[in-house]
Amino acid sequence: MAGMLGVLGGGQLGNFFVLAAKEMGYQTAVLDPDPDAPAGVNADVHIVAPFDDAEALKKLATLCIAVTIEFENPPVASLEFLAQHVTVRPSPAAVAIAQNRREEKQFCQTIGLRVAPYEVLETPEDAERITHHGVLDSHLDPFRTPLIMKTSRNGYDGKGQRLVSHVSEVSQQWDSFGNVPCIVEQKMLLDAEFSVILARSESGDIAVFTPAENVHVDGILDISCAPSSLDSQILEQGKSAAITIAEELKYVGVLAVEFFVSENKLFVNELAPRPHNSGHWTLDAALTSQFEQQVRALVGESLGDPSMTSPAVAMVNLLGDRWTNGEPHFDLLQNDSSAHVYLYGKKEPRPGRKMGHLTMTGDDAHVVANQARSLRDAITK
């Protein structure tokens, strides 16, 4: 055995990491407080404890030759503690930026990348200023509404977000968020969204996956397809922005950057310091999956070839809502060799919960996207 790799977080992303690591000859240890966490089942060791449990972190550091993450919110102090004993990738400093929307935006602006106009909302004075005086010193146009209030930390799948129809409501809405640090962002008219996922190795090599075009429904990713039919110039801008971000952060590992396209301009939405839902297609249609890249970057192996193995691919999420009438009819997929379903082994199919996904490969992204949607509808009628 080549050694044991650790991951903080035991969700589906952690599970795909565990499976990739296993295939490459590594043992795995997962730290997650949920005894039913999907990755816990397949890992050699599942440490069931909170992410800030000192004993659990010590155990992980002792067992593993290197540790990574599968979600952006483990305590940075835990990562820093681990980093004193074992290789941690990506670095705690990079994760700290990605887990705070304000820092993420300020970092992007500092390196010359455009983000949606926003205001920081952290003090009663901020609330007062935005609510009553319009917005000074920023690019937020108080007359262009609606706005979106987002908690600076712990948001995912559209959670921790609220539409604000007028600046006069900012104060009141902030109260209902318990006055935690937030940002208030202009709701943009989006032409499209896409993401760039890349891996960067310790030696600074970078492998970029084909950008995926993404459609979100109610703040949750619904479908990703690659290649994107967006203007190639804007996609290239996205790729080079993601590379700049990775280089500026001296990033080692897999990084996903979500972009908005609005009025033909590129805006960074957010960073994910880990593999990403919109890169699940790489399991079926890339020479190296995003999870294999995560393992390679973590252990210092050279990166794999990210090229696509199929002309086009689409991935649709299967949310818990699709279980309302019982288990979907997965048997209907048996005769379709271009479709592949993945279930994450979550017991409770709650609405909005990611239970699995379905990937379809074919010759044309638009066509496979429609096929994937129809197939999903057909199995969940």
Residue 9 binds which entry of Mg ion, ligand ATP, none, CB below 5-8 Å type-dependent:
none
181 binds, among Mg ion, ligand ATP, none (CB under 5 to 8 A by kind): none
Angle at 238 between CA 234 and CA 239, to 5 degrees: 120
Task: Identify the three-state secondary structure at position 355.
Answer: strand
Q: CB-wise, 273 or 362, nearer to ligand ATP? A: 273
Q: Checking DSSP bridges between strand 212-217 and strand 220-226, what pairing results, if any?
A: antiparallel
Give 99 or 380: the residue with its C-beta nearer to ligand ATP.
Answer: 99
Smallest separation, CB 200 to ligand ATP (Å): 21
Residue 359 interacting entry, from Mg ion, ligand ATP, none, C-beta within 5 to 8 Å by type: none
How far is it, in rounded angstroms, from Cα 310 to Cα 368?
A: 11
248 binds, among ligand ATP, Mg ion, none (CB under 5 to 8 A by kind): none
Taking CB within 5 to 8 Å according to partner kind, which of Mg ion, ligand ATP, none is near residue 156? ligand ATP
Measured from the CB of residue 343, what is the shortest distance to ligand ATP in angstroms? Answer: 20
Count Cα neighbours of 293 within 13 Å in the Cβ-side half-sphere.
34
> Which positions ≥6 away from 236 have C-beta within 8 Å?
none
The two three-digit tokens of residue 374, written as one number: 């129809």
CB of 162 to ligand ATP, least distance (A): 11
Q: Smallest Cα–Cα separation from 297: which of 308, 306, 286?
A: 306
Q: For 93-103, b where at least 16 C-beta lie within 10 A, e where not — what string?
A: ebbbbbbbbbe
Cβ–Cβ under 8 Å, residues 254 and 293: yes
Closest separation between CB of residue 222 and ligand ATP, Å? Answer: 10
Q: Which stretches of the chain bind ligand ATP, using CB under 6 A?
A: 116, 148, 150, 155-159, 185-188, 190, 193, 216, 219-221, 258, 269-270
- Least separation in angstroms between CB 187 and ligand ATP: 4
379's tokens: 């199995």
Query: To the nearest whole angstrom, how small is the minimum distance from the Cβ of residue 215 to ligand ATP?
Result: 8
Stretch that binds Mg ion, among 85-93, 198-206, 270-278, 297-305 (CB under 5 A): 270-278
Pick 73 or 338: Cβ nearer ligand ATP: 73
Tell me which of Mg ion, ligand ATP, none is bound by residue 255, counting a contact when its beta carbon lies within the kind-specific cut-off of 5 to 8 angstroms: none
180 in Cβ contact with 152 (< 8 Å): yes
201: nearest Cα among 240, 132, 129, 251: 251
CA angle 184/189/195 to nearest 5° reads 85
Binding site partner of 158, from Mg ion, ligand ATP, none, Cβ cut-off 5-8 A by kind:
ligand ATP
Rounded least distance, CB 292 to ligand ATP, Å = 22
The site for Mg ion (CB under 5 A) is made up of: 258, 270
